[in-house]
């Protein structure tokens, strides 16, 4: 016999301005968990990065105008920094959840092209999985190069 436990679910209101979502695509990438317990997400169609801090506060920061820029976010261990893997975006996005700032780093691969989708952290590097781009992406967080 099974008994179902239904956890309480609450929705956090978030005002999003200036977004005309493309059907079937997310506003942000899935969250990654940072070592302090906070969550970060890169913008897919949204105009900001997204953070949920350990107190449950929802924070948006950064200013982006292109759509489908990133489809994957990868966390660097022992930092409050995550990296957006370029999908249509031209460069890797560095998201600093501590300073609430963003910057693009490394090589400019040009906008468009469905480059990478998926990624991970191994051997001190951030890796991007090729989608329609014929190369594996390697990002060095120490030198901020790709």
Among candidate residues 54, 133, 47, 45, the one with its CA nearest the CA of residue 98: 54
pTM of the model: 0.84
Per-residue pLDDT of the chain (146 residues; tens, 9 = 90+): 656 666 666 666 655 554 555 556 788 899 999 999 999 999 988 888 999 999 988 999 998 776 668 999 999 888 899 999 999 999 999 999 999 999 999 999 988 889 999 999 999 999 999 999 899 999 999 888 87
């Amino acid at each position: 016999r099974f008994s179902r436990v239904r956890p309480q679910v609450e929705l956090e209101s978030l005002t999003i301005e200036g977004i005309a979502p493309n059907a079937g695509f997310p506003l942000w990438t899935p969250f990654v968990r940072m070592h302090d317990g906070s969550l970060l997400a890169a913008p897919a169609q949204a105009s900001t990065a997204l953070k949920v801090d350990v107190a449950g506060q929802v924070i948006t920061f950064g200013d982006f105008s292109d759509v489908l820029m990133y489809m994957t976010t990868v966390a660097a261990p022992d930092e409050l920094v995550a990296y957006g893997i370029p999908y249509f975006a031209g460069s890797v996005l560095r998201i600093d959840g501590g300073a609430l700032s963003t910057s693009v780093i490394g090589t400019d691969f040009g906008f468009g092209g469905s480059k990478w989708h998926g990624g991970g952290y191994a051997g001190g590097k951030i890796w991007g999985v090729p989608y329609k781009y014929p190369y594996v992406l390697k990002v060095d967080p120490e030198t901020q190069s790709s």
